[in-house]
Structure 1
Amino acid sequence: MKDRKAFKVAYIGGGSMFLPSIINGIADIMGKKGNFELCLSLYDIHRDRAERMRQYADIISDECPTFSAETTATREESLDGADLVFVSVALYDRLREINQLLADVDAILPEPGPGDIAEAVAVAPFYFDLADDMKQYCPSATHISLVNPTDVIALFMNMMGIQAVGMCVEVEGLRGALAYYFRVPEEAIEMIYAGVNHNGWTLKLTINGEDGYQLLREKLSEIEKDIDFHPGNYGIFRIFELTGHLMSSAYHTPPFYFEPKTKLDWSRWGGKRESYEKALEEALRTKKPITDRPMIHPERSLVNYPATGRAIGKLIRAMATNEKELVAIQVINNGAISNFPDNTCVEVPTFVCRREFMPQNIGELPEWFGGITRLLAIQRRMMAEYLFNPSYDLLKHALSVLPILASVEKHLRFAETLHRVYHQEDQRRQRGQV
C-alpha cells in the first residue's frame, strides 16, 4: 500500500534492464538536491525479474532513506494510487507477426516514417487496456511513454483521456557522447533541439559556454580517431558536414543514407546486455550500486542509457516537488515549434513542475533541412488518430504524407494488410476478447 506522503511511480515491465539506470538517476538527483518521499512500484509478468530490480533499489535506499521500492502481483496493484506511470513492455512477437504479414506481400516500409505505424498497431491493444486501468486506479496519473513510437503513443493516450508525454533516449545519448568526445561533464553540453521521436535537429550547441559547432568543426577529425569513437555516430557527423547541424538522434538518420562501402567497426561494441546483467549480479552480491569509470563513452556504461536514467530522475523530482527541471520530452506542440501544427507532438526542451509541462518556444525549424521532420510530425499525428479511430482512408492519407519512401503500390499493400490486422484486433477488443 502506498504511503500517502510518498510520490508513487508505477513501472509496468518492472524487470526491464533500464531500471538500474533509472534507479541510479533517482539516487543521483536525491544526492544533489535532497531526498523526497518516493515509492517505486514494480510490476512484471515475470515477478522474479522485477524482484531483482527491487533488490537493487534497496541498495540505493540505504543511502536515500525516503526512497522505497516494492513489487506487486498484479498490474492493478502497481497502478493503484500512482502519480506517474512508466511502461517498458516488449511485444516483439506480435510485431514479428505483423511484419511477416507485410513481408508476405512485399510491403515493409521504412522507419522512422510510415513503418512506425506497424509498431504502433502492435502495441495499441495493450495501451487501450492500460488507459482503462489508469482511469480506474490512478485517474490523476501522468503516463511517460517509453515504448516506440513514443510520440505516437503519447498522442494516442491523450486522445483516450490520459495525460501523457513521450520520452526517448536519443537527446541525452547525444549529450553523453559529445561530453565524452570533448572530455567535459554532461552539464557542460547545452543544446537547443527540435523535432519528433527519432528525428530532430540540434539548432544550437554550446560547450562550456562556447560555440559548440565551431569547436566541433575544429575537433571532428580528432574525434573520429578516438579509440572509443562509436560507429553509430558516423552518420550524424556526415550530416553535420552537409548541413552544419547535428541531428538530435545520433542513431536514427533517415532520410539520410550513406555509402555501403563505408567500413564501420561494430565488433568492439557487442555484448551490452551481458555486461548489464553481469553488473547487476555483482551489485546484488556486493550490495554496492553500479558505478561507471569516469569519462567513458555512454555506450561503455554498465547501465542502459545512463544519461536518460539521470534525466528520468530529474523528471520524477520535478513532478514530486515544486522544483522545476528542464527535460528532453515529447509534448503537444502548441506553438513551441512555430512552423509545426499546434496539435502535433514534438521533442523540445521542456520545463516540468508537478503535472505541468512547459515546452520552450523554439521558433521555426528551418524547412530546408527540417522539412521532412515537419512532415513526420504531421504523419504521426494522423497515425495516432488512426489508432484511436481506425479508418482505412485515414491510414492511406497518413501514408501519403511521405510517399517518396516507397512505391505507391507498396503503400497500398501496406495499408490494406495493416488495416485488416488492426480492424480484426479492434473488433475483438470491442467484444471483450483482447
Structure 2
Amino acid sequence: MGNTAKIVFIGATSISFGMSMLRDVMSSEELAGSTLTLVGRHADSLARVTELARMMNARSGAGLTIEATTDRLAALDGASFVVNASAIDRNRLWKYDFEIPRKHGIRHTLGENGGPGALFFTLRTLPLLFDIARDMERQCPGALLINFSNPESRIVLALGKYSPIKNIGLCHGVFMARDYLAHIMGLPNEQVDVLAAGINHAQCLMHVRRHDTGEDLYPLFRQKERGFDPTYQPLSRRLFRTFGYWIGCGDSHVGEFLPFGWEGGEAGYDFKWDERNRQDMAKQMDDIVANRTPMPKDWLTPSGERGVAVITGILHNRHRFIESAIVPNGGVIPNLPTDAAVEVPVMVDAAGVHPVSLGPLPDGVGKLLGTQAAVQELAVEAAVRASKEIALQALMIDPVVNSADAAVAMLDELWEINRPYIRECV
C-alpha cells in the first residue's frame, strides 16, 4: 500500500464526528504526504469545513493534501480508506423515532440503536450505506470502510452479509463504560483498563484491571458500588448486580435493548442541546476561518476516537491494538450467532483487521444479547428488502415492544415518514 494514503471522509460536515476526525488527522505524524478528501452534500458547509481543515493542516504541520467535493463517486476514485459519518436528516427523523412509539404506549430510552426507533433508523440508513459500498466497489474495491454512523451494529451486519467491501465500525462507548466504573471506584480514568465483548452499546466488561499492575479491579468495584449514590446509573448497576458484570455504556444506551430500560430514564435525546451545540460550533468555525477568533489549542490534539489509529496501524503495519470495534462475529464470540455484528477488541496491521476473542460471554449475558442479535438480523432483512412484512416481524420479536396493536400502528405511521428513503438494497 505504501506509506501514504488517500482518505475519503464522507459526512465531513458532521459537527460531532467531523471535528474529531479533523483533530485526529491533523495531530498524527504518520499521515504526512497523504490526501484527505472531504465529501459533503451541502456546498456552503463543506466550504467552511474545508477552509478550516486547510488552516489546521498549515498550523499543525501535518503535511496533508486537502481536497473537497460534493461528488462522492469522483472522491472515492483510488481511495485507501473511506470514513463515514453521514446521516439522513438526523435530528428531525430521530425525533419521530422517539416520539411516535411513545405516543402508542411504548416506553423506551433513546430510539436510536435499540427498540422500535432503531428499526426505522435502519430502514432509512442502509440504502445510503449500500450506495456508498457500491460506489466503493467501482472506484476503490480494496479500501476499508470505517463507519462512525449509527445504527452501527446493523450497518456492519448488513455490509458483512451483502457486500464484499471490507468494513469496521468504531464507537467510543467502551471508554464511557470505563469512565463510569472509574468514577464509582474513585480512580483516575487512565488507571483503569477494560476488555469488553458484546454488541454495540451493550458490551460486557469481561476484564477490569488496574493499568500499572494488572490487578483485577472487579472486587474493588463490587465493594465501592454497594455504597455509591443510588441515583448514579441505576439501570446499569442493577444489571451488574444481576449478571455479575458491567454491561453497556450508560443507562440510556443499554436501556434501549431492555423492556424495563425506561426505568433508568426515558427523557430521550436532548435535541435542544444538540442543535444549540451545532449552532455554536458552526459560529465558532466561521469566526476562526474569518480570523475573528483564535483556534483553540485542543483542536490540534487527538480527540480520543480511534479512526486514525486504525488507518495508520494498517498503513504502516504497526500491529496496533484497538480497544473496541464492531465487526462480523465469525465465531469471535462463540455464544452469539456467527453472522451477528459484535463489538470486541481488534488488532490492525498491514494485513487488515483481526478481531480478538475474549471467549464466550457469561451465559446469562450471552442469552440477553442473543435476543438483540435476532432483532437486528430481522431489521436488516427488512431494510435490504424494503419489506414492511419483515419490519413488523422485527417489531414483534423486540422485547421493548409491549403491544401488537402498537407495533402495527407505529409501523404504519413511521413507514410513511421514512418512505422516501426506503428501497431494496440487494
Q: TM-score range by the shorter chain?
A: 0.7 to 0.9
Cross-structure match for 1:329: 325
CA distance in 1, matches of 2:391, 2:246: 32
1:16 counterpart (14, 17, 29): 14
Residues 247 and 254 in structure 2, CA contact (< 8 A), matched pair in contact too: yes
CA distance in 2, matches of 1:175, 1:261: 21
Residues 106 and 402 in structure 2, CA contact (< 8 A), matched pair in contact too: no
Cross-structure match for 1:198: 201
Q: CA deviation at 1:202?
A: 1.0
Residues 4 and 31 in structure 2, CA contact (< 8 A), matched pair in contact too: no
CA distance in 1, matches of 2:288, 2:181: 28
3-state SS of paired residue (1:306):
coil
Cross-structure match for 1:410: 406
Equivalent AA in structure 2 for residue 116 of structure 1: A
CA distance in 2, matches of 1:177, 1:37: 39
Bigger mean CA deviation after superposition, 6-15 or 413-422: 413-422
Residues 248 and 254 in structure 2, CA contact (< 8 A), matched pair in contact too: no
Provide the TM-score with structure 2 as the length reference: 0.78
Change (3 A) 1:351 1:104: closer
3-state SS of paired residue (1:252):
helix
Bigger mean CA deviation after superposition, 174-183 or 133-142: 174-183
Residues 8 and 36 in structure 2, CA contact (< 8 A), matched pair in contact too: yes
Change (3 A) 1:215 1:69: farther
Cross-structure match for 1:353: 349
- 1:149-228 to structure 2, matched below 5 A, reads 149-158=151-160, 159-176=162-179, 182=186, 184=188, 186=190, 188-208=191-211, 209-220=214-225
Q: CA deviation at 1:156?
A: 2.0
CA distance in 1, matches of 2:280, 2:102: 37
CA distance in 2, matches of 1:421, 1:23: 34
Equivalent AA in structure 1 for residue 84 of structure 2: V
Bigger mean CA deviation after superposition, 154-163 or 340-349: 154-163
Equivalent AA in structure 2 for residue 24 of structure 1: R
Residues 39 and 67 in structure 1, CA contact (< 8 A), matched pair in contact too: yes
Change (3 A) 1:409 1:220: same
Q: CA deviation at 1:340?
A: 0.7
CA distance in 1, matches of 2:173, 2:157: 19
Residues 384 and 423 in structure 2, CA contact (< 8 A), matched pair in contact too: no
CA distance in 1, matches of 2:266, 2:408: 34
CA distances 1:195-244 after superposition (whole Å, capped 9, x unpaired): 2122222121112222222333454489759xxxxx88554345434443
Q: CA deviation at 1:320?
A: 1.8
3-state SS of paired residue (1:350):
strand
2:364 counterpart (358, 362, 368): 368
Residues 193 and 200 in structure 1, CA contact (< 8 A), matched pair in contact too: yes
Residues 10 and 82 in structure 1, CA contact (< 8 A), matched pair in contact too: yes
Change (3 A) 1:386 1:349: same
Identity of aligned residues (%): 24
Cross-structure match for 2:140: 138
Cross-structure match for 1:295: none
CA distance in 2, matches of 1:398, 1:352: 34
Residues 338 and 362 in structure 1, CA contact (< 8 A), matched pair in contact too: no
Bigger mean CA deviation after superposition, 365-374 or 342-351: 365-374
Change (3 A) 1:411 1:276: same
- 1:160-309 to structure 2, matched below 5 A, reads 160-176=163-179, 182=186, 184=188, 186=190, 188-208=191-211, 209-220=214-225, 233=233, 235-250=235-250, 251-254=252-255, 255=258, 256-257=260-261, 272-273=277-278, 276=281, 280=285, 285=291, 288=295, 290-291=297-298, 306-308=303-305
CA distance in 1, matches of 2:398, 2:44: 44
Equivalent AA in structure 2 for residue 245 of structure 1: Y
Cross-structure match for 2:123: 121
CA distances 1:276-328 after superposition (whole Å, capped 9, x unpaired): 55765676546655429xxxxxxxxx99x9322xx222112123221122221
Provide the TM-score with structure 1 as the length reference: 0.77
2:336 counterpart (303, 316, 340): 340
Q: Could you say what the CA RMSD is over the residues aligned between the two structures, in angstroms?
A: 4.1
Gaps of 5+ in 1: 226-230, 293-301
3-state SS of paired residue (1:347):
strand
Equivalent AA in structure 2 for residue 20 of structure 1: M
Q: CA deviation at 1:154?
A: 1.8
Q: CA deviation at 1:98?
A: 6.5
3-state SS of paired residue (1:248):
coil
Equivalent AA in structure 1 for residue 245 of structure 2: H
Q: Which runs of 4+ in 1 moved over 6 A?
A: 260-263, 419-424, 427-430
Change (3 A) 1:207 1:278: farther
Residues 27 and 62 in structure 2, CA contact (< 8 A), matched pair in contact too: no
Q: CA deviation at 1:133?
A: 1.9
Equivalent AA in structure 1 for residue 372 of structure 2: L
Cross-structure match for 1:90: 87
3-state SS of paired residue (2:253):
coil
Q: CA deviation at 1:348?
A: 0.8
1:315 counterpart (310, 314, 318): 310
Change (3 A) 1:172 1:253: same
Gaps of 5+ in 2: none
Q: CA deviation at 1:143?
A: 1.6
Q: CA deviation at 1:162?
A: 2.4
Cross-structure match for 2:42: 46
Equivalent AA in structure 2 for residue 244 of structure 1: G
